[in-house]
Structure 1
Amino acid sequence: MLELAADLLPLLRAGQTVATITVAGVARSAPRGVGSAMAVTRDARVIGSISGGCVEGDAVALALAALARGTGDAARFGFTDDQAFAAGLACGGTIDAVISVVSPTDAVARDALERAAADRPAAIGIVASGPGAGTLVPHDPVPESALHDDLLVVAAPRRPRLVILGAGEHAATLSRVAAASGFAVSVCDVWDTLVTEERFPEADERVCALPHEYLRQLDERGELDERTAVCVLTHDLRLDIPALQTALALPVGFVGAMGARRTVARRAQLLRESGVADADLARLHSPLGLDLAGVTPAETAIAVLAEIVAARRGGSGLPLRAGTGALHPRASVSASASASASASASRESILSSSEHSIGCSLDE
């Protein structure tokens, strides 16, 4: 639920009560991981998702029922292979979820959501089963969401940071796609006419400074770590070289620089001459981006972000059709959830049970 902080806080501040549905466990293949969430208001407005769309309708019904009761619940959304085939679904996955009723006066929820919205490490505990299912309890920040016995701990670590050095058109489009992908974006350029809110409305920070000096400032502020990516888009060797010297000496997870192959070779030579070791040069992603044969700045930005994501997540960068095995992470569903009901069970009987097991069938 913390991933929805920016949307939930205005509703709570306006005095609205909402229901959240949070993934507590998945089995086989499921598109969203543990901790993923959606929310539903009393007027059936839906925020977020917990699947690829096949269980959201049932989740909304359960959320509205929880709002009417004023208490939470637990649910299992699952499919047998036969049911998945009949519904046109190939995933055959199972999702365990817990439904919470969040009121404007819930201090535990408000505190965790405020921290998450401010990009500070946050976590919240959710009772995953039993009579108290859905109850929210305080929890210290943790690196990732996980189910511990009957307590689901939902984590909201700080967003990964993307530092863009250079403020040309490629930088502007990269800022947009990175912000939409959940990165905290910082942009730096020596020209104040380029680093403007109008050109970079999504950026969290816009700075006019020498790029290498800005990197040192971020390091001194303790804002760089292994989840940080640095992209040098200055197209000026006088700025590129000191910026890359500095970046490659910092504990960041990704350093990339845009440029044609001739520029890349010349830049590598200058970096070696300036004392950068070959081991550090090997960390440099340049030319920057996956080979998508893109032409426009937007297509180039997608290629750059794709390489950053692949490096962060350990992806191959190959088309999914070239691989084998599950597309989504696998995890065990919680033992506390009920067994999956058959597709022929009526919706009324499903929704009236204390722990629901719902399939997605086209004949309903």
Structure 2
Amino acid sequence: MLDLIPSLHGWAPTIIGQRFAVATIVRASGSVPRPVGSSMLVSNAGAVLGSLSGGCVEGAVVAAALESMDDGATRLETFGYSAADAFAVGLTCGGELDVHIEPANGNPGGRLAEALLQLVAYGLDEPVALVRRLDGGGSGAVVISQPAAADVSHHPQLRALLDLPGDPGAGRARSVQLESFLRSGATGVLQLGGPGLCTGAATLLVESRLAPPRMLVFGANDFSAALLPAAKPLGYHVTLVDARPAFASQARFQTADEVVTAWPHHYLAAEAAAGRVDARTLICVLTHDPKFDVPLLETALALDVAFIGALGSRRSHVQRVGALLDAGVRPERIAQLHSPLGLDLGAVTPAEVAVSVLAEVIAARHPAASHQPLRETSGPIHQERAAKPAPTHSLQQEIAWT
């Protein structure tokens, strides 16, 4: 339901004053338009907020939601492609969806309605998580304001949702599994069972959104002016850094979330020391000046970050590698550097180079992808992404990594 946050404010009167139902994708396979966690609200008057498939199955979902409001029962509907019946409700893209439909009575004291009203207060980029029980006909929802620091033992509502005993130590293994998932910023379905849960097994839909990952762009020039606005729609918090005030202060760089005038390697070292650089951070070096590039890359390659890239020619790359080796940077760390930065798209202009750079950023996030034109590949377009290893063998995950 986190995908609905930008539009929830206008729906607050509906949530309070009417019966409604929430339809949510809880399993997706093959080529499907929307990932797990995508939700649609349906009021008893037939008003709709959100989409699950771009139109393929919405009519059937609305009908099922109205029925759920009438009888008060949750439903799990499966939609797929039926080649045998051209008029059957299904996905023309050939994938398959399981949609969980849960009614709410419109009472703001109800758990699901209350959770939605809490989500209204969150901005588009604010970290937040929502945990819902899917088993037993649906038994509530809990909003968590800081999923990166989630702690079940200090969250009575979450413990109640999991039906854990009052003893903080009880069910700790299951709590750790849930906390790990919340802190990852992932969305998916968790199957938790065994000792520590009074009711036995619990099926949870967990939607977790962390603060946007940072993209640190070093160098105020034509290429960064094109890259800054192009990176924003990908969900990055973009910072431009340049040591030269006359360059950094230009109006064309105001599309960045922040512009900093500082020596690049000093700024990066200070941000890392303050804990504002993490394993999701991207670093793009566009300065084209060895006096900035080399100390900056030396600092960057000592950090645990998601991506480090440096723009320039192959000759510049060879010179950088030599300088980094002379500075004592290990060859295996230099091998992690994306340089020359960008996929080979034939890019020439700054706007084209920005596309090339972001294409490599996306490709680095999905190393199993072929990076070929779709017309030269076969199989589902939206391949299922491999799940990260579970913290313990007893945790089963169906994950849509975002």
Alignment-derived partner of residue 261 in structure 1:
314
Which of 112, 137, 143 is the equivalent residue of 2:142? 137
Residue 89 to residue 68, structure 1, CA distance change in 2 (3 Å): closer
Total equivalences in the alignment = 326
The correspondence of residues 1-364 of structure 1 with structure 2, limited to 5 A, is 1-8=1-8, 10-11=9-10, 15=13, 17=15, 21-38=23-40, 44=47, 46-47=49-50, 49-56=51-58, 58-59=60-61, 74-83=76-85, 91-99=93-101, 106-111=113-118, 114=121, 117-120=124-127, 122-128=128-134, 131-132=137-138, 135-138=140-143, 139=158, 141-143=182-184, 144-149=186-191, 150-195=203-248, 198-314=251-367, 315-330=369-384
What letter matches 2:233 in structure 1? Answer: A
Q: Return the alpha-carbon distance in structure 1 between the equivalents of residues 378 and 92 of structure 2.
A: 14
Residue 16 to residue 203, structure 1, CA distance change in 2 (3 Å): farther
Please state how far the C-alpha of 1:88 moved relative to its aligned partner.
Answer: 11
Residue 62 to residue 88, structure 1, CA distance change in 2 (3 Å): closer
SS in 2 for 1:82: coil
Contact preservation (8 Å) 1:4, 1:37: yes
Contact preservation (8 Å) 1:146, 1:154: yes
Q: Return the alpha-carbon distance in structure 2 between the equivalents of residues 174 and 64 of structure 1.
A: 46
Long gaps (5+) in structure 2: 144-157, 159-178, 192-202, 386-402
SS in 1 for 2:304: coil
Please state how far the C-alpha of 1:109 moved relative to its aligned partner.
Answer: 3.6
Q: Give deviations 1:187-222, integer Å, cap 9, x for gaps.
A: 211233444594345433321111111111221221
Q: Which moved more, 1:178-187 or 1:109-118?
A: 109-118
Residue 221 to residue 298, structure 1, CA distance change in 2 (3 Å): same
Q: Return the alpha-carbon distance in structure 2 between the equivalents of residues 160 and 291 of structure 1.
A: 25
Q: Return the alpha-carbon distance in structure 2 between the equivalents of residues 116 and 244 of structure 1.
A: 34
SS in 2 for 1:219: helix
Alignment-derived partner of residue 162 in structure 2:
none
The structure, 1 or 2, with the larger RCO (C-alpha pairs under 8 Å, 6+ apart) is 1
What letter matches 1:145 in structure 2? Answer: T
Alignment-derived partner of residue 169 in structure 2:
none
Residue 230 to residue 92, structure 1, CA distance change in 2 (3 Å): same
Q: Which moved more, 1:256-265 or 1:68-77?
A: 68-77
Please state how far the C-alpha of 1:99 moved relative to its aligned partner.
Answer: 4.5
Q: Return the alpha-carbon distance in structure 2 between the equivalents of residues 192 and 46 of structure 1.
A: 46
Percent identical pairs in the alignment equals: 39
What letter matches 1:124 in structure 2? Answer: L
Please state how far the C-alpha of 1:36 moved relative to its aligned partner.
Answer: 2.9
Please state how far the C-alpha of 1:83 moved relative to its aligned partner.
Answer: 4.3
Contact preservation (8 Å) 1:27, 1:93: yes
Q: Return the alpha-carbon distance in structure 2 between the equivalents of residues 57 and 197 of structure 1.
A: 50
Residue 86 to residue 58, structure 1, CA distance change in 2 (3 Å): closer
Q: Return the alpha-carbon distance in structure 2 between the equivalents of residues 187 and 68 of structure 1.
A: 54
Please state how far the C-alpha of 1:104 moved relative to its aligned partner.
Answer: 7.5
Q: Return the alpha-carbon distance in structure 1 between the equivalents of residues 286 and 40 of structure 2.
A: 37
What letter matches 2:187 in structure 1? Answer: S
Residue 277 to residue 212, structure 1, CA distance change in 2 (3 Å): same
Q: Give deviations 1:250-269, integer Å, cap 9, x for gaps.
A: 11121100012222222222
Residue 231 to residue 67, structure 1, CA distance change in 2 (3 Å): farther
Q: Which moved more, 1:27-36 or 1:192-201?
A: 192-201
Please state how far the C-alpha of 1:234 moved relative to its aligned partner.
Answer: 1.1
Contact preservation (8 Å) 1:81, 1:92: no
What letter matches 1:316 in structure 2? Answer: S
Alignment-derived partner of residue 389 in structure 2:
none
Please state how far the C-alpha of 1:32 moved relative to its aligned partner.
Answer: 2.6
Contact preservation (8 Å) 1:3, 1:156: no
What do you get for the CA RMSD once the two structures are aligned?
A: 3.6
Q: Return the alpha-carbon distance in structure 1 between the equivalents of residues 250 and 63 of structure 2.
A: 42
Contact preservation (8 Å) 2:79, 2:91: no
SS in 2 for 1:185: strand
What letter matches 1:108 in structure 2? Answer: A
Q: Return the alpha-carbon distance in structure 2 between the equivalents of residues 178 and 57 of structure 1.
A: 35
What letter matches 1:2 in structure 2? Answer: L
